[in-house]
C-alpha cells in the first residue's frame, strides 16, 4: 500500500455527459468525435471510436469555442455553468452516465495520522462526515439552480438512448475488471478489491434497490 489514510470530505452529484457542437444520442454518434476528458473515461471513449483529448481546465473553453474539440465533459451543472460551456456549444447531453457521482477526500500520511491523539483523529473523521453531508446537499441545490438557468437559454437538450447508457455501463465494468486483472498480475490486488467491492454493491443495489423512487 501507499501508507496513506483517506478521509472522505465531500460527495458530488452526476456530471453533464457533454457540452457538444454535435448532437449525441447513441454510441455510434461518438465515433470520430474529439472529446475533452481524462482518466478511465478517456480509455473507454477510445473503445467506441472517439478521440479523447486531455486538456487542463483553463484551456477547455477556448478549445471548445474554436472547435479544436467537438465536445467536453467537466463536472456538474453548477460548475459548468460558471465556465460558460453552454454559451458556445449548442447541445447539452445528459445523463452523465460516465460519472454518476464523485467523492472528495483529505489524505494523511499514515505515520503522521498514527502520531495524532485518538481524539483528534475522531474529530477529523467527524468533520469529514459533516463536510460530506453539507457538500452533497449544497451541490444538489446548486445543480438544480444551474439546470433551471441553462434550460432558459437556447441550448438543445439531448438524452442518451437507454441502449447507449447500458453500453457505457458495460464498457465501464469491462474496463475496471481488465485493470484489476492487470494490476493483480503485477502483485497489486487493490484494484481488484475496489472493483469487486464496487460491482458487488452495484449488483445488489440494482436487484434490491427497486423499492426506492429514483
pTM assigned to the model:
0.91
Q: How many domains does the chain have?
A: 2
CATH code, 97: 3.40.190.170
Last residue of a domain, one of 135, 160, 185: 160
Shared domain check, 197 and 155: no
Cα gap 68→58, rounded to integer Å:
14
Region 52-75: what's the mean pLDDT? 97
Angstrom distances, CA of residue 184 to CA of 41, 129, 172, 192, 200? 21, 32, 18, 7, 18
Residue 213 has pLDDT above 80, yes or no: no
Shared domain check, 184 and 90: no
Least confident interval from 100-104, 117-121, 161-165? 100-104
Residue 214 has pLDDT above 80, yes or no: no
Cα gap 161→25, rounded to integer Å:
6
The answer to whether residues 105 and 8 touch, using CB atoms and an 8 Å cutoff, is yes
Angstrom distances, CA of residue 202 to CA of 74, 158, 196, 199? 24, 26, 10, 5
The answer to whether residues 19 and 92 touch, using CB atoms and an 8 Å cutoff, is yes
Shared domain check, 50 and 71: yes
Residue 112 has pLDDT above 90, yes or no: yes
Shared domain check, 167 and 152: no
Shared domain check, 183 and 101: no
Shared domain check, 166 and 144: no
**Per-residue confidence (pLDDT) for residue 210, from 0 to 100:** 86
**pLDDT band (50, 70, 90) for residue 212:** confident
Q: What is the extent of the structural domain holding 13?
A: 4-160
Backbone angles phi, psi at 56, to 5 degrees: -70, 155
Shared domain check, 87 and 66: yes
Question: pLDDT tens digits for 123-133?
Answer: 999 999 999 99
Shared domain check, 199 and 96: no
Higher per-residue pLDDT: 191 or 213: 191
Region 68-87: what's the mean pLDDT? 97
Cα gap 206→138, rounded to integer Å:
27
**pLDDT band (50, 70, 90) for residue 169:** very high
Amino acid at each position: 500500500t501507499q501508507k496513506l489514510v483517506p478521509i472522505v470530505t465531500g460527495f458530488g452529484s452526476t456530471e453533464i455527459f457533454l457540452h457538444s457542437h454535435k448532437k449525441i444520442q447513441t454510441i455510434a454518434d461518438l465515433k470520430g468525435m474529439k472529446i475533452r476528458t481524462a482518466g478511465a473515461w478517456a480509455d473507454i471513449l477510445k473503445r467506441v471510436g472517439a478521440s479523447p483529448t486531455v486538456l487542463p481546465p483553463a484551456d477547455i473553453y477556448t478549445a471548445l469555442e474554436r472547435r479544436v474539440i467537438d465536445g467536453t465533459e467537466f463536472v456538474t451543472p453548477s460548475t459548468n455553468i460558471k465556465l460558460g460551456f453552454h454559451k458556445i456549444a449548442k447541445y447539452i447531453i445528459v445523463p452523465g452516465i460516465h460519472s454518476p457521482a464523485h467523492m472528495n477526500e483529505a489524505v494523511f500520511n499514515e505515520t503522521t495520522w498514527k502520531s495524532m491523539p485518538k481524539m483528534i483523529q475522531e474529530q477529523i473523521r467527524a468533520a469529514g462526515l459533516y463536510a460530506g453531508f453539507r457538500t452533497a446537499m449544497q451541490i444538489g441545490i446548486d445543480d438544480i439552480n444551474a439546470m433551471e438557468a441553462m434550460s432558459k437559454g437556447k441550448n438543445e437538450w439531448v438524452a442518451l438512448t437507454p441502449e447507449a447508457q447500458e453500453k457505457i455501463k458495460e464498457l465501464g465494468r469491462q474496463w475496471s475488471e481488465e485493470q484489476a486483472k492487470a494490476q493483480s498480475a503485477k502483485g497489486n490486488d487493490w484494484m481488484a478489491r475496489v472493483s469487486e467491492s464496487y460491482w458487488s454493491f452495484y449488483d445488489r443495489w440494482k436487484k434490491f434497490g427497486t423499492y426506492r423512487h429514483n
